[in-house]
A and B are shown apart, each in its own frame.
Chain A
Amino acid sequence: MAYAWQGKLEKLDNFRWKIPQSHKPGMQVPGLIYANETLLPGILNDKALEQVANVACLPGILGCSLAMPDIHWGYGFCIGGVAATDPENNGVIAPGGIGYDINCGVRLVRSNLTLNELMPKLETLVNSLFNNIPSGVGSSGDIRAGAKDEEDIFLKGAGWAVKKGYGVKEDLEFTENRGSMQGADPSIVSKRAYERGKDQSGTLGSGNHFLEIQAIDEIYDEKKADMFGLFKGQVTMMIHSGSRGLGYQICDDYVKSMAGCLNRYNINVPDRQLACAPVNSPEGRAYLASMKCAANYAWTNRQCLMHLARNVFEKVFNKSWSSLGLRLVYDVAHNIAKMEKHKIDGKEKFLCVHRKGATRAFPPGHPDIPGAYKEAGQPVIIPGDMGTFSYVLAGAAGAMEETFGSTCHGAGRRLSRSNAIKFCAGRNIDKELFNKSGIIVRAKTRGTLAEEAPEAYKNVTEIVNVVHGANLSTKVCRMRPLGVIKG
């Protein structure tokens, strides 16, 4: 596929490139891409930049249509896109700017185990996690929720799980939004969405979702690592999952129903997948109230997954999870829209911030981060591919000034899924990972392994270096994978 970006792209400095507003008619603001010279050629060969320009056409968009360095071609919005709109100025909300997997996100759990203490039991642990955590396509779980429970989950999020005994109150303290957004309205969620969410709580799902056992192998900021309870040689666990079938259905419902809003509110967008409605319209409010149900469901899901994993650790190590120190470091959403206060020309305003494949990165002192992390900034958790590293960053001042408190979300794909499968034809990815790096991988299907092979992804270290260099979030530590379970 010999695509190459033909539009203008102005280099502003080593980390920032601008698509001028003159690139296409209808752009309300310029596009701003965070990248470096190494990542740029890959970005230019992808169709993502046109999507950045399309998003710049959304009514009420402020600042710039932003793209993080893990940008790649999506549908409607690019993956790695951030857009803030002003509800007081006809600003819109676009379900496509959040994505189908509403509140897909990651959580990081620390332990007081060291690498040396873990190694003799690693294989048993990974096998046991694989056997006890429902994963794979359409997987349904042991944590069953009845119809009444589902409503409660939509309203209370991770708090529902804690009340049921799947975790402790402290877990909520260390979850973005305390694991629950206010204003969810279960009464407007479609019957189909209810149906698809019914038995999927506490299931990992498939594709790029995973649970990974890791060890911290590099510390960049001792002070912040210490505040997050992290140290070199420490064993950690990362969980990546989202709102499963429920979120897909809610997004689908509204992308369809908002098609009519384009005429009704006289909105012109270059791509139907950018269907949207003013934040302050009945349709916009309904989407937001439904999206919150899915977001709360996703936080519940990751809380349940962590609970199941803690149980497995208890069995394997014959100790309680609390004595193993399995405490939540933080949980972040990376597909979500939030009403947030931001300063525009020195004035505080409530904006609708869309993050699609982007993570919130609030700086030190921000009121929405846990007390224990006030001085450090919000932990930002960046998963890499299954062969290389993952990172913990801390939100920095630059994010508040330039990106509406946002940063990157992961490695970002480099190869399409089918190219990845072609590229890996005849190879045994799990064996290779074990022989080369000692990483134990368990996956439900071989297809997933090839699709998710390390070569399919951009170099996460490059991505992290860009957001660090641009002061959107700064490096705290690096983890290397030991064992991975995938759907």
Chain B
Amino acid sequence: MKSFEIIDHTADVGIKAWGTTMTELFENAARGMFAVIAKDGCNVQGSKIEKKIEIRKTVDSLEEILVSWLSELLYIFNREKTYFSDFKVKSLNNDGIEAQASGVNLDLYQSDLYTEIKAVTFHNLKIEENVDGFSCIIIFDV
């Protein structure tokens, strides 16, 4: 199964992500988002930075956790210029998410390949369940 693909949107950019489990879907969605930010960014060298991500909030749907998860990673990226490439979701439910993300410090602002994501949107966001697991389409405002 593919982990994600970048899809077309007239004004913005979207990804479709897949996962055999919900946690894998969340990890792949994060990979997809960083692939939008910089296409070849994953090949960069540098000393590894580990970050623990913990979001605690009780919500009605996992879609809300998904947007919060990606928004949090985006926020850390903007603040600390940490380009994440590896994600490990440890726990995930309607009360929040706990995960580990690792990446490198990188001044992508100088890179030719950079796309600025303004935000992760809720537009038509729905996590679908099928025989292979889960999938969803996420639109980013760029």
Contacts and interface: CB of A to CB of B under 8 A. Distances in A.
A428 interface: no
Given A79-B11, A273-B123, A206 B116 contact: yes
Contact of A46 (B10, B108, B123): B10
Given A138-B116, A256-B68, A445-B112, A72 B11 contact: yes
Contacts of B142: 207, 417
A1 B122 CA distance: 21
Contact of B63 (A195, A207, A272, A418): A272
Nearest to A263: B60
Contact of A251 (B75, B113, B119): B119
A139 B109 contact: yes
A448 to B, nearest CB: 9
Interface string B47-67: 000000000000000011001
Interface in A108-164: 136-139
B113 A100 contact: no
A416 B114 contact: no
A413 B142 CA distance: 13
B43 interface: no
A271 B123 contact: yes
B22 to A, nearest CB: 19
Contacts of A374: none
B119 A100 contact: yes
A243 to B, nearest CB: 10
A136 B64 contact: no
Contacts of A139: 109
Interface in B96-124: 108-109, 111-116, 118-124
A75 B8 contact: no
Contacts of A272: 63, 122-123, 125
Contacts, number: 100
Interface residues of A, number: 45
A74 interface: yes
B9 interface: yes
Nearest to B63: A272
Given A252-B71, A417-B13, A418-B6, A75 B78 contact: no
Given A75-B121, A417-B13, A137 B63 contact: no
A245 interface: yes
Given A136-B109, A272-B125, A72 B116 contact: no
Interface in A260-288: 271-273, 275
Interface in A66-80: 72-76, 79
Enumerate the 3 nearest inter-chain pairs by beta-carbon distance, A residue then B residue, closest first.
A75-B123, A272-B122, A75-B121
B139 interface: yes
Given A101-B118, A207-B116, A416-B9, A75 B64 contact: no
A100 B118 contact: yes
A315 interface: no
B10 A413 contact: yes
A418 B109 contact: no
20 contacts: A46-B10, A48-B10, A76-B123, A79-B11, A100-B118, A100-B141, A137-B109, A195-B79, A245-B78, A248-B141, A252-B120, A255-B122, A273-B121, A273-B124, A273-B125, A413-B10, A413-B11, A417-B13, A418-B13, A446-B112
Contacts of A192: 75
A232 interface: no
Contacts of A47: 10
B141 A138 contact: no
B12 A74 contact: yes
Contact of A271 (B67, B108, B114, B124): B124
Interface in B57-94: 63-64, 67-68, 71, 75, 78-79
Contact of B11 (A73, A256, A273, A446): A73
A205 B141 CA distance: 14
A486 to B, nearest CB: 13
A63 interface: no
A416 B71 CA distance: 23
A139 B139 CA distance: 24
B10 A73 contact: yes
B115 A447 contact: yes
Contacts of A168: none
Given A196-B78, A245-B78, A74 B122 contact: no
Nearest to A251: B119
Given A46-B10, A79-B11, 10 more contacts: A73-B10, A99-B141, A100-B141, A138-B116, A271-B122, A273-B122, A418-B8, A418-B13, A446-B112, A447-B112
Nearest to A138: B109
B137 to A, nearest CB: 11
A419 interface: yes
Nearest to B75: A192
Contact of A75 (B63, B115, B139): B139
A259 interface: yes
Contacts of A100: 118-119, 141
A30 B125 CA distance: 25
A100 B120 CA distance: 10
B11 A74 contact: yes
Given A46-B10, A73-B11, A416-B10, A137 B116 contact: yes
Interface in A186-214: 192, 195-196, 205-207
B6 A75 contact: no
Interface centre among B10, B64, B78, B109 (most CB of A within 10 A): B10
A445 B108 CA distance: 12
